[in-house]
Chain A
Amino acid sequence: MKTVARILLRFSEKIVEQPITAQVILEHGVPISIVAAHIDSKGGEILAEVPSTHVKKIIDAFREKGVTVTVPKLIEVDSEKCFDCGACFSLCPVGAIAFKEDFSVVFDEKKCIGSPCGLCVDACPARAIKLVEQHSSGLIK
């Protein structure tokens, strides 16, 4: 059972220079790890991981500070359907899909950024890759 949930934070131009993430961590004493980030002077996006027990509280804290928070869908691979062709491999921008020595395709869900990307989903000829809501997988209640 997974114990961390993923949230996508969008910072507008107005608030991008404030240390909001650090403030939330300090105020709530909850660890937030950054999976991916793209930030410049015009705004930015952070994909973050938070303990699933504290997701609600953290989302509210970010929203109070003017951050737009969405809960991205995550990639789920059906290993029964996957026949290890690797059609998905070259589409992944973060290197979350790799080959083992025996040419099995392995998926690293820690690296995957989920629905902000999703490039691999419609490239799977076995239809083994799906984007799923975190709510439905019980990560966020």
Chain B
Amino acid sequence: MKKLVENSGVEVAYKEIDIVTTGTFGAMCSSGAIINVGQADPPIKIQKAWINDVEVCHPGAAVDLYIGATIMSETRPFEYGGGHVIEDLISGKEVEVRATAHGTDCYPRTRLRTTITKDDLNQFYLLNFRNCYQRYVCATNSRDEIIYTYMGKLLPKFRNATFSGSGALNPLMNDPDYETIGIGTRIFLGGGQGYVIGEGTQHDPGNQGGTLMVRGDCKKMSSEFIRGAAFTKYGTTLCVGVGVPIPILNEGLAKKTAILDEEILTDIVDYGIPRRERPKLGKVSYKELKSGAITINDKKVRVSPLSSLKTARKIAEILKSWIENSSFFLSAPAESLPTDTVCKPMKQTEEIAFVNSVTHAAVTCTEDEDIKAVAERIINRSVNHVVVTDEQGKLRGIVTSWDITKAVAKGKRKLADIIIRKVVTTKPHESLEAASRKMAQHQISALPVIDQDRQVLGIITSEDIAKLLGR
């Protein structure tokens, strides 16, 4: 479609092409499977259950269980989780089920342990409440340490970046107005056929943040397209393969499905700042992202996809062949998906305070100053801490009134001899709770506030925190 529209125009493309197939394959955390394990004898009303040591929740009647993709094994956390249980079941492996219950007159059993395969399950349905994000951000890291996130491993000081999604191949990018995708749309799901059952959670179509809620029969899926995954120090998830056929019902859809990677822009976001609104560093297109390198702060850095673009293409190809050999039939949606919902932040009844809300200017000095001059400054400005900086205002150390007193008592004259150089610091976006924990841990009463280049932005003291709590 994309080439035909470019070469021959929308009108020709509309006449020649009936259906465009799309695909995506990547980590989709809001996924899971609903299973019915059948009733035991004597019967049990499960209160808590585990499969391969992964706690599975019990949302309904006696023996219905939901395997959440991100729930981690109690014996192998961060390595094995619900996503892996679903993959193991789909690939025919035997899994161990354990359960406990209170015991009732009708369901007397209180303990259970058995092994099962997918053939032993009555129902085994993938039931994912947020899949197929229309596009996602590109993640990078400003901190001077490696961070491990749900967007993968991010090297210090913007040395790499990661992105997710298949760009112009993404199903929702090809039908952004939801003309053909709605409740009841038959789709490729995990190697089998499934359905769209609604908009996904956090569906935000106005900001190119559409999502899908989907359901499909796991017994007909393949572990090639449903894979458990483990993100170091973040946790486990499920990689899901989704493909949606878009029937070209009008010229408008021919034009929309001709969308190109270079037309899809997303934000480069600093995951080094652990806040809801992370700083944005600029925009980048999926074409650049797929090229393997992007520019951040005038530097070229490598960028990793976290979704398999190879598998996404394969899904679109398989869906095409299914349609061609009549093993897959398109369905008209029973109801359209909403196009006007937005994704709201949480209503919080407790405000969390951050370091930047109490940061004030620090009294500073340089290394070559006289102890007496610094002592006078402590008295004049009535502070206990003087931050030592270099000429550019970067942190070199700290001196307290106690250090000065000690120096005078011991007859020391040079400031350089008494500076504390290993300084515990904080950053503007650290929570006050974390900052005060640092002070308690190190038995200190102030923290210089610095940025990623160790530039001194100010100081916070235990008095500031005490005042805030006393309000």
Contacts and interface: CB of A to CB of B under 8 A. Distances in A.
Interface of A: 83-92, 99, 102-104, 119, 122-123, 125-127
16 contacts: A83-B227, A84-B308, A87-B153, A89-B304, A90-B160, A90-B162, A90-B303, A91-B153, A91-B155, A103-B308, A103-B310, A122-B153, A122-B232, A125-B230, A125-B239, A126-B229
A85 B301 CA distance: 18
Contacts, number: 77
A83 B301 contact: no
Contact of B310 (A89, A102, A119): A102
A87 B12 CA distance: 39
Given A85-B306, A87-B306, 17 more contacts: A83-B239, A83-B311, A85-B304, A85-B305, A86-B304, A87-B153, A87-B305, A88-B304, A89-B303, A89-B305, A90-B304, A91-B155, A91-B304, A103-B305, A123-B232, A125-B152, A127-B79
Nearest to A104: B310
A91 B292 CA distance: 12
Nearest to A102: B310
B172 interface: no
Interface string B66-80: 000000000000010
Contacts of A125: 27, 152, 229-231, 237, 239, 306
B423 to A, nearest CB: 28
Given A102-B313, A103-B313, A86 B155 contact: no
A53 to B, nearest CB: 37
B309 interface: yes
B26 interface: yes
Contacts of A103: 305, 308-310, 313
Interface in B445-459: none
A83 to B, nearest CB: 5
Contacts of A90: 155, 160-162, 301-304
Contacts of A104: 310
Interface residues of B, number: 31
A92 B26 CA distance: 21
Contacts of B307: 85
Interface in B295-335: 301-311, 313
Contacts of A126: 227, 229
A86 B305 contact: yes
A85 B79 contact: no
Contacts of A122: 148, 153, 232
Contacts of B79: 127
Contacts of B148: 122
Contacts of B304: 85-91, 123
A58 to B, nearest CB: 34
A103 B26 CA distance: 14
Contacts of A92: 302
Interface in B129-156: 148, 152-153, 155
A100 to B, nearest CB: 8
Contacts of B230: 125, 127
Nearest to B161: A90
Contacts of B310: 84, 102-104
Contacts of A83: 25, 227, 239, 308, 311
Nearest to B307: A85
Contacts of B237: 125
- Determine which residue in A89, A102, A123 has the highest number of CB atoms from chain B within 10 A of its CB, and name it: A123
